[in-house]
Structure 1
Amino acid sequence: MHRSPDISPRSPMLWRITVPLLAAAGLVFACGPRTPSPTASARPKAGADKGVTSHVMVDTANGSVHFAIQVANDSPKRVELLFPDGRTHDFAVLDSVGREVWRWSQGRLFTQGIQNRLLDARDSAVYDERWEPPAPGRYTLVAQLNSENYPVQQRVAFALR
């Protein structure tokens, strides 16, 4: 005759199963999905400090074009920029009829890991790249910050002679 194992509260077998399960549950709870902190995801209220702002620069000196997007934290609190992967920013150039003639990220590989960037109060970060233009003409730069909680996209028209 087969006898079932004793699983009373005092049974050593019950404790051998329960303790590892509780440890695993605690680990899953501790390492579970993160939610952005209220400071990082909150949009500034009307009349309050601005929060995250951006400024795009285009420099056409010396035959090449230098692009930069500056992202500033204009608030009195630290801000966390959340990025879904390694591509924190991107630049694209459109010709005079709106066709894309260059994209910085084209052909590049990026990590798939989530990353973040902390900006202290009144701090800023600059992302910049260079482009060798194929010909003179009128172009539009599309600069973007790929942040999940503070996405930015700005367009700037410029001309090359």
Structure 2
Amino acid sequence: MKTKAFLLTGLFLLIAFMIACNALSPNRGFQFLTNYQKNPDGTVTFTLSVRNESLKEIELISSSSQLYDIEVYENPGVLVWNWAHDKSFLALMTSITLQPGEERVFRETWDVRSNDGQPVVPGNYRVRTHLVTKPSASYSFDITL
């Protein structure tokens, strides 16, 4: 009985320590969010932000010059458009370092056309934005066009 209590206490302390060190946090001390704005010209602007919420600097490392992507899906999960579709990226290790409290913002405007250049039909879509870095993060939400 004492052994079980001792083990449970030890496990509890280990979990508390890991949480305090952000070891169990999926984003390891940073916040990743995306907002969007429908523009008067019919385009949509996505604003991706990553903010260091820890007390130490964080380095986000990518195996190429691409740091993020934006994907728009029809239901159920058919890719309509993604930001990186027609882009070329250098096969060059890229990193960004965020100091405690620092935020990095990326803005991209979508012309509301599919990857094959066709206008997207009005309706409901699922947007997924994600950092293609290590550590990574993603954010998803619904949008009506």
TM-score where L is the length of structure 2: 0.73
Tell me, yes or no, if structure 1 residue 75 matches structure 2 residue 70.
Answer: no
* C-alpha deviation, 1:135, in angstroms: 2.5
Are the counterparts in 2 of residues 96 and 137 from structure 1 also a CA contact under 8 Å?
A: no
Gap regions ≥5 residues in structure 1: 1-43
Query: How many residues end up aligned between the 2 structures?
Result: 116
The answer to which structure, 1 or 2, has the higher relative contact order (CA under 8 A, 6+ apart) is: 2
Task: Please give the per-residue CA displacement for 1:75-119, whole angstroms capped at 9, x wherever unaligned.
Answer: 111111111111111011001332111011112110011011010
- State the partner residue of 2:73: 94
SS, match of residue 35 in structure 2:
strand
Following superposition, which runs of at least 4 residues in structure 1 exceed 2 angstroms of deviation?
A: 47-50
Give the strand-richer structure, 1 or 2.
2
- State the partner residue of 2:37: 59
Superposition CA RMSD, Å: 1.8
Report sequence identity in percent.
22
Residues 2-151 of structure 1: pairs in structure 2 closer than 5 A:
45-47=18-20, 51-62=29-40, 63-133=42-112, 134-148=120-134, 150-151=135-136
Structure 1 distance, partners of 2:63, 2:51, is 20
Gap regions ≥5 residues in structure 2: 1-16, 23-27, 113-119
| Larger of the two Rg values belongs to structure | 1
